[in-house]
Each structure stands twice: as structure tokens, then as C-alpha cells.
């Protein structure tokens, strides 16, 4: 199959001419792709800022607010997004940090990407402890019921549904 990207009617290209025309067209395509990539890169870098922490800094750890969220008596939009300040032990690579985690979070791997961390600007000794916060390995809150306060059975046409009120 011969490739011809010239004007209509110029179909009498020989071997060296078609190679030259093809290589020129490929260079034009590469240049346009490079220009487009540079433009997209400039758009993406407008909202990015380099985030770096020092060893010994305190950071807040982001937790997933979506599945299995402990509500703390609040609606999901008011539940905490970041939990208590943790000290940075070590920097791993360009965008990963190792944190000192307490015993309650020992099941979680202690290395986090910089996007999951936020600088703690307040004094870490002033942080309110949340002893009832339990996280799983994917940083989702784990919710466990304390007690069953009420039970009802709702009867429909052909089935019964058990309604349970949990504290």
C-alpha cells in the first residue's frame, strides 16, 4: 500500500520522493503533537504547586470520606476529612513520606503520597484526640454498632422486613 499525503492528482511519486514527502509529513505531525502537549502541560500546571515537607514536620492525614464513614453524629459532609497530626519520619522518593502512626493505626502501611497529606499549621499538642476512630487498610472509617435499641417487623404483601434501630 503506497502512502501519498500530497494534493489530489500527484500520484506519480517515485521511491525517493515518497520517502522524503512522508518523512516531512511525519515531522509536521510530531511538531503539532509537541505544541499541543506543551499547551496541555501549561494548562495542567496552572493549578499545581509543589508540596514538600521536612523531616520532623507535622501533617494531617486524609481519610476517605465515602464508604464506611463514621458520622460522629453528623451528616457525611460534616465528617472529618483529615485526622490528627502525625510527625514525618522520613522522606521516600520525591512524593512519598513515612509517618509515625500510633498503635491504633498499626494495620495501615505508614508511607503516604504527598496528595494524602496536608501541612498542620497548628501546634500538634492542641489536637483533639479521636479515640473512637478506626480505619481499615484502605483508609476508610470503620463503623461498629454499640447496641441494638429497637426492633420491628414490617409485613408487606408477600414478605417480612426486619427493621433494626442501632446506636
Domain ranges of the chain: 58-138
Q: Provide the pLDDT confidence category of residue 124 given band limits of 50, 70 and 90.
A: low
For residue 5, the model assigns a pLDDT of 56
| pLDDT at residue 89 tops 50 | yes
For residue 62, the model assigns a pLDDT of 85
Contacts of 103 (CB under 8 A, 6+ apart): none
Beta strand 96-99 with 82-92 is antiparallel
| pLDDT at residue 7 tops 80 | no
Q: Whole-model pTM?
A: 0.49
| pLDDT at residue 115 tops 90 | no
Instruction: For residue 151, report the phi and psi dihedrals to the nearest 5 degrees.
Output: -135, 140
In this predicted model, which residue has the larger pLDDT, 72 or 32?
32
Q: Provide the pLDDT confidence category of residue 25 given band limits of 50, 70 and 90.
A: very high
| pLDDT at residue 19 tops 70 | yes
As a whole number of Å, the end-to-end CA separation of the chain is: 74
29 CA to centre of own chain: 34
Question: Cell match 496528595: residue?
Answer: 115
Cα–Cα dist 19/11, whole Å: 14
Could you read off the pLDDT of 131-153 as tens digits, one per residue?
Answer: 666 777 777 777 777 888 899 99
C-alpha triplet 51, 134, 132: angle, nearest 5°: 110
Alpha-carbon radius of gyration of the chain: 29
Cβ-based neighbour number of residue 77 at 10 Å: 7
Amino acid at each position: 500500500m503506497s502512502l501519498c499525503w500530497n494534493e489530489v492528482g500527484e500520484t506519480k511519486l517515485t521511491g525517493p520522493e515518497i520517502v522524503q514527502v512522508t518523512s516531512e509529513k511525519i515531522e509536521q505531525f510530531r511538531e503539532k503533537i509537541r505544541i499541543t502537549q506543551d499547551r496541555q502541560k501549561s494548562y495542567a500546571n496552572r493549578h499545581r504547586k509543589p508540596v514538600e515537607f521536612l523531616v520532623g514536620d507535622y501533617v494531617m492525614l486524609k481519610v476517605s470520606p465515602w464508604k464506611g464513614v463514621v458520622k460522629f453524629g453528623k451528616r457525611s459532609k460534616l465528617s472529618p476529612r483529615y485526622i490528627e497530626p502525625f510527625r514525618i519520619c522520613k522522606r521516600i522518593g520525591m512524593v512519598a513520606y513515612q509517618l509515625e502512626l500510633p498503635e491504633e493505626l498499626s494495620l495501615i502501611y505508614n508511607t503516604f503520597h504527598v496528595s494524602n497529606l496536608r501541612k498542620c499549621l497548628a501546634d500538634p499538642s492542641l489536637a483533639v484526640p479521636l479515640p473512637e476512630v478506626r480505619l481499615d487498610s484502605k483508609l476508610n472509617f470503620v463503623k461498629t454498632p454499640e447496641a441494638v435499641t429497637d426492633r420491628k417487623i414490617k409485613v408487606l404483601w408477600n414478605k417480612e422486613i426486619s427493621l433494626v434501630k442501632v446506636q
